[in-house]
Amino acid sequence: MDLRIPSSTSAPSALRSIGTGGLSKNQAPSAGSVQSPGISNAFRNALKAVSEAQNHSDSLQKEVTMENPKVSLEETMVAIQKAQIGFQTTLHVRNRMVQAYSDIMNMQV
């Protein structure tokens, strides 16, 4: 099964951060920060991005509820959908990793 995303479509930022270790194409690690390459760092960055999207959508929901004229309902709905898609993607990745771990542990040596 091929799970690659075609280059013509844009992936959500949480997924892009997994592939790049949390750095965008034009962003390089600063001299003061130590970026450890690896899958755990990529997953940590992806989880932070999903959490930030959820927090952003929550704050927009509160602003719409308080009838803030600077926040539109459309913007809020888009933020909610982005957060939901990010969460669902994270859940699917977690389920795949648990299944892979179970498969490996059940292999006979």
Using pLDDT thresholds of 50, 70 and 90, give the confidence band for residue 7: very low
- In whole angstroms, give the CA distance from residue 105 to residue 74: 47
pTM over 0.85: no
Residue 100: count of CB within 10 angstroms of its CB: 10
The type of residue at 16 is R
In whole angstroms, what is the distance from residue 39 CA to residue 93 CA?
13
- What pLDDT shows up at residue 45? 92
**Domain residues of the chain, as ranges?**
13-23+38-105
pLDDT in tens, 14-60: 444 444 444 444 444 555 555 667 888 988 999 999 999 999 999 99
User: Encoding tokens for residue 70?
Assistant: 């600077």
